[in-house]
Amino acid sequence: MSTETLFRRITDYAARPDPYPLYAELREHGVARQEDGSYLVGTYDEVVQLLHDPRISSDAHSRADVDEELLRAEADGMTPAFIGLDDPEHERLRGIAMRPFGPPHSPGRIDALQDDIARIAQELIDGFDGREEVDLVDDFAYPLPVTVIGRLLGIPSGDMGQLRRWTDIVIASLDFDPGEDPAVKRRRGREAGREMADYLGDLAASRRDHPSDDLLSALVGDPGPEGAFRHEELKSTAALLLIAGHETTVNLITNGALTLMRHPEAAARLRNDPGLMPSAVEELLRYEPPVQLLPQRSPLTDIEVAGVTVPRGAPLILVLAAANRDPLRFPEPDRFDPARRDNQHLGFGSGIHSCFGAPLARVEARIALTALLARIGADAHPVEDPPPYRRSPVLRGPRHLLVRH
């Protein structure tokens, strides 16, 4: 098969239930140049190297073909969130956001959520009573992280439905779908993103006068030595935290539940030894990572990757899920082993952009899957396997997971 169409085949919806054979093909090819001039990398060593290379940019302006829609949006006053910026701007904004979220200044915020998360998980699971069939996405894996991130940020629960509609449009705009005009889709995505950011900006502003103990209040409150956000920065950061704070966790929990049902011996082991769950979550992040690839990188100068020169400004696509199953790095990479050792997976990326919300995602997945295993028996199974998947090849996971238990 030609590498020319490899990325197309990976992003083709038909590949969603099992992209792994295509990832194996990608690893065989080394650095794969695509017909549109982008470069695909899926071997562990090379992906890690690129994630740590200071000459690799995450800024859309570094692309040779800068997206005009982006320039229009910026002319209109929108600023990119830190996920799309390079140091030192990235470091500054991420640092301000980290201050109230995690160590060293706020080591307790995630810990303090644990009881809350456990209670929300239990309430959702109690809803399974009297039903033979449940949809693990709609009834559990989706509402759990949405409720958690909503409470963490301090969003009124009645507004979450509108936020979900915006999120869906933003996520859809990230897709590689040959059937749609990408410019139109991106414009729609940016409009939804803007409305969401405006909403969050207004909400945060209202916390200035009436602070509570939520994250938005902290972000508009006490500035650290790095200074405070400008209002536009606050809006884009809050939108990023909201979207990234649940879109990925939904898939982590759903992929996790599906994997455990497919591996009953592992599920049985975890029921007997819940202490193994943190290690099992790491293995899920390796084996079925919710973020399959990073589509937004480009070199600031010509660089050499595994003997191939990638020119400055070329789109560089790092396929984390392929790297996670590189046999040169992980013994028996296609085996799900909840007790795997030396599991330096790329499920959260690596380097300066490594997942901001990783500590929260870990806690949510651990609590959710532990509670789920305690509720559904060894004979629980998907009604359909594979289940129907969401469209996105980037944020991959089942759209529904009907389970008979």
**Cα 207 to the chain's mean position, in Å?**
28
Burial of 185 (0-12, 13-18, 19+ CB in 10 A): middle
For the CB of residue 312, give the shortest distance to other proteins in the complex, in Å: 8
Distance separating alpha carbons of residues 323 and 306, to the nearest angstrom: 14
Window contacting other proteins (CB under 8 A); options: 2-10, 20-28, 53-61, 182-190: 53-61
Sequential DSSP letters for 259-293: HHHH-HHHHHHHHH-GGGHHHHHHHHHHHS-SB--
Query: Quick one: CA torsion of 350, 356, 357, 362, rounded to 10 degrees?
Result: 30
Three-state SS for 273? coil
Taking the complex as a whole, the smallest distance from the CB of residue 88 to other proteins amounts, in Å, to 5
Torsion, Cα 388 345 50 177, to 10 degrees, reads 0
Question: CA-CA distances (angstroms) from residue 77 to 80, 192, 195, 197?
Answer: 10, 15, 13, 12
Site for other proteins in 182-241 (CB under 8 A): 225
Decide: is 25 part of the binding site for other proteins (CB under 8 A).
Answer: no
Among 250, 275, 192, CA closest to 390: 250
Cα–Cα–Cα angle for 278, 168, 41, rounded to 5 degrees: 60
> E strand or H helix at 239, and its extent?
helix 231-262
User: Which stretch of DSSP H or E encloses residue 368?
Assistant: helix 358-375
49 part of the interface to other proteins, by CB under 8 A: yes
Least CB distance from residue 358 to other proteins, whole Å?
13
CB of 101 to other proteins, least distance (A): 17
Check if the beta carbon of residue 345 is closer than 8 Å to that of residue 354.
Answer: no
Are residues 328 and 45 in contact, defined by beta-carbon separation less than 8 angstroms?
yes
CB of 95 to other proteins, least distance (A): 9
Backbone CA torsion sign across 15, 16, 20, 25: positive
Nearer to other proteins, 225 or 307 (CB): 225
Separation between Cα atoms, residue 325 and residue 346, nearest integer Å: 10
Tokens of 26: 């990608």
Stretch near other proteins under the rule CB under 8 A, chosen from 80-88, 158-166, 187-195, 279-287:
80-88
99/207 with CB nearer other proteins: 99
Candidate list 5, 114, 157, 354; residue touching other proteins; CB under 8 A: 354
- Contact stretch for other proteins (CB under 8 A) within 22-30, 83-91, 332-340, 385-393: 83-91
- Among positions 90-109, residues that touch other proteins (CB under 8 A) are 91
Question: Is 350 a binder of other proteins (CB under 8 A)?
Answer: yes
Q: Which of 43, 57, 292, 296 binds other proteins (CB under 8 A)?
A: 57
Distance CA(286)–CA(346), nearest Å, equals 7
Tell me which stretch binds other proteins (CB under 8 A): 48-56, 170-178, 236-244, 275-283. Answer: 48-56
Q: Which is nearer to other proteins, 107 or 221 (CB)?
A: 107
56 versus 243: smaller Cβ distance to other proteins = 56
Query: Closer to other proteins at the Cβ: 210 or 341?
Result: 341
- Per DSSP, 36 falls in state T
What is d(CA 49, CA 54) in angstroms, rounded to the nearest whole number?
10
Q: Pick from 352, 359, 381, 399: which binds other proteins (CB under 8 A)?
A: 352
Binding footprint of other proteins, residue count (CB under 8 A): 22
Give the integer Cα–Cα distance in Å for 26 and 12.
Answer: 15
> Binding to other proteins by residue 87, rule CB under 8 A?
yes
Q: Which of these segments, 13-21, 243-251, 351-359, 364-372, binds other proteins (CB under 8 A)?
A: 351-359
User: Which residue among 21, 55, 309, 383 contacts other proteins (CB under 8 A)?
Assistant: 55
Interatomic CA distance for residues 69 and 281, integer angstroms? 38
Helix axes 143-153, 160-173, angle to 10 degrees: 110
Q: Which stretch binds other proteins (CB under 8 A): 30-38, 52-60, 202-210, 382-390?
A: 52-60
Minimum distance from residue 329 beta carbon to other proteins (Å) = 14
Question: Which x/- pattern over 294-333 shows residues binding other proteins (rule: CB under 8 A)?
Answer: -----xxx-x------------------------------
Distance, CA of 149 to CA of 326 (rounded, Å): 33
Q: Is 343 in the site for other proteins (CB under 8 A)?
A: no
Stretch near other proteins under the rule CB under 8 A, chosen from 74-82, 86-94, 201-209, 272-280: 86-94
| Residues at the contact surface with other proteins, assessed by CB under 8 A | 48-49, 52-57, 59, 86-88, 91, 225, 299-301, 303, 350-352, 354
